[in-house]
Structure 1
Amino acid sequence: MWAAMSPLLASGYRRGDAREETGALEQVCIAAAMLAPALAAIIVVRCVERSGRVRDVLALRWPKPWGRAVRASLTAFAVPAGLTTASLVIGTFAGSYPFSGVHWNGLGAWAAGAALNMLLSLPLFFGEELGWQGYLFPRLAQVGDRRSLIRAYAVTGAAFALWHLPTLLMGGQYPGRPWYVSVPAMLVSCILILPVFTWLRLRSGSVVPAVIGHAFVSSVSVDMVKRFADPKAALDPLHMGMAGWPGWIATGTFVAFLTLTGRLQPSFYTAQTTSHLASARGL
């Protein structure tokens, strides 16, 4: 991550506004950085652990049958969309989000464009999630007891957040904010959203839905904040959207539901799979 971001760091680049578009150099550096976790995971699996096929070890496969794959993909799209909508509603009622109303004219074209951009960016998000959900979280959670599971969520979420440190220092996620504000904010955001991505991965047995969910949060969700805001108002990610405190409330509530219903425990899905196989065999 630091190597990929070194051209921007050396040039003194800083993002000063949430509406600011990324230039060509920024996009190249971001793309290179996002591939680093997957590259690390693949090297370790193939050259250090030698623990099997990369696709199997990192869950790099579509859920089967295809109907299940479609449902898992739609869920990975719908849940972040719902959480983003909830965060915008919370921010609007709290007065922190400058909601300008739903302008139906051009909404369909915008939604189609946002979805297309998300699909085109999916390969980059495989670069991240093969590291976090494909490799790191399963290794930390493999002991299976409650303490190791909590540690797996906390450590993976913290690694996920601190991996962004170079971009945070340049104002990437929280433009205009000093590091001692943006770094803790990113820690909270990642530790809260990581269980949602993990849930998508556990319920499907595949890393693909986690990739789709991550891509939505980092692209379409950000576009939603801009789309429905007053075009003349300043946007502060700390107070709106998934990266701000309204998003923390929405995501935290959903994660609490997943926790209370046992859906964040890998054993929950192991038991379901065993039950389905037994039913299919008539046992």
Structure 2
Amino acid sequence: MTFSTSHLPSVNRRRGLFIFLGVAYIGMWAAMSPLLISGYRRGDAREETGALEEVCIAAAMLAPALAAILVVRCVERSGRVRDTLALKWTKPWGRAARACLMAFVVPAGLTTAALVISTFAGRYPFDGVHWNGLGAWAAAAVLDMLVSLPLFFGEELGWQGYLFPRLAGDGDRRSLIRAYAITGAAFALWHLPTLLMGGQYPGRPWYVSVPAMLVSCLLILPVFTWLRLRSGSVVPAVIGHAFVSSVSVGIVTEFADPKAALDPLHMSMVGWPGWIVTGAFVAFLTLTGRLRPSFYTARNVHHSSSIRRPQAPVR
């Protein structure tokens, strides 16, 4: 697949990028301002979020999508929002369905591998697998993730639907490197208000949490992009993001000693164990060419030609 952005005038594309980032960032800071003003700080990874925190988080997560829709409709005028932001279920449907399944399987595998590394390093207080009730817990965790899925559309319609394709352009090597780097950095720094309040790294100062989040986003973004590229739809990237931000976090808590302190920097996808396993997976995707849009264009052309190839007559 390729991203159809070359038809956009460079002035419109550049203006659209600045407006998108401005609205997305202003929306985040505005949504988080009640918590920042009140002096809210998250000091424990097990701490539950209250009603006000949930409302602020939900509003913030919708900002990138609103920014993307605003730019597509009012600045670029580049066509239907649904098509431009890949908010569709592409054909063949089986390919998109497999990508959605991978959006569950891959983050689950990466999370498990990260916890194994952390356990052997003596940083994760593994309490064993309690099989009784495990199925009910897993079902509840997935259900909670699906309920929150619309909020993750709010983020990924911005990052994967709008920003990455605009930066990737025609998909040459330099443009792709720039797209992965800038989108990952923008994705990380957009979280700055929550990082200042200890959101992802409770109890950590900003000069630790901000670089850690930057590394985490630069590594996980190619995984979400891979899900988007292989399906031609933003939906699998949304599911992958939702899994990492909800179920993956729940896995860390579920299998830990309930009395032990939890430090995400040492035992999760946003900590150094997660960086190791995610970095290894991204290296695999890079070496096999799966992070290039042209990889999927060539595969789709080959698949289509195979389907249309006439059969030899029976003699």
Q: Residue 234 of structure 2 aligns to which amino acid in structure 1? A: V
Matched, 1:180 2:207: yes
Percent identity between matched residues is: 86
Deviation at 1:66, TM superposition (A): 3.0
Deviation at 1:70, TM superposition (A): 2.2
Deviations, residues 150-195 of structure 1 (Å, cap 9, x unaligned):
1100100000000000000000000000000000000000000000
Work out which of the two has the higher radius of gyration on C-alpha atoms and give 1 or 2: 2
Matched, 1:131 2:158: yes
Farther off after superposition, 142-151 or 63-72: 63-72
> 1:130-149 residue pairs with structure 2 within 5 A?
130-149=157-176
Whether the 8 Å contact between 2:96 and 2:233 is mirrored in structure 1 is no
Structure 1 stretches of 5 or more lacking a match?
Answer: none
Q: Residue 28 of structure 1 aligns to which amino acid in structure 2? A: V
1:20 is matched with 47
1:122 is matched with 149
Whether the 8 Å contact between 2:100 and 2:239 is mirrored in structure 1 is yes
Farther off after superposition, 265-274 or 125-134: 265-274
- Relative to the length of structure 1, the TM-score reads 0.99
Whether the 8 Å contact between 2:96 and 2:232 is mirrored in structure 1 is no
Deviation at 1:279, TM superposition (A): 1.5
For 1:278 and 1:143, the matched residues in 2 are separated by 23
> 1:28-177 residue pairs with structure 2 within 5 A?
28-177=55-204
Deviation at 1:73, TM superposition (A): 1.1
Deviations, residues 13-59 of structure 1 (Å, cap 9, x unaligned):
00010000000000000000000000000000001000010010000
For 1:59 and 1:143, the matched residues in 2 are separated by 16
2:292 is matched with 265
Q: Residue 104 of structure 2 aligns to which amino acid in structure 1? A: F
For 1:213 and 1:228, the matched residues in 2 are separated by 21
For 1:127 and 1:273, the matched residues in 2 are separated by 29
For 2:291 and 2:95, the matched residues in 1 are separated by 19
Q: Residue 21 of structure 1 aligns to which amino acid in structure 2? A: E
3-state SS of 2:33 partner: helix
Matched, 1:8 2:8: no
For 1:110 and 1:4, the matched residues in 2 are separated by 31
Matched, 1:248 2:310: no
3-state SS of 2:148 partner: helix
3-state SS of 1:214 partner: helix
Q: Residue 95 of structure 1 aligns to which amino acid in structure 2? A: G
Deviation at 1:65, TM superposition (A): 2.9
Deviation at 1:145, TM superposition (A): 1.8
1:190 is matched with 217
Deviation at 1:281, TM superposition (A): 1.8
For 2:97 and 2:233, the matched residues in 1 are separated by 12
Q: Which runs of 4+ in 1 moved over 6 A?
A: none
For 2:94 and 2:289, the matched residues in 1 are separated by 24
Deviation at 1:126, TM superposition (A): 0.2
For 2:153 and 2:114, the matched residues in 1 are separated by 26
For 1:257 and 1:66, the matched residues in 2 are separated by 26
Aligned residues: 283
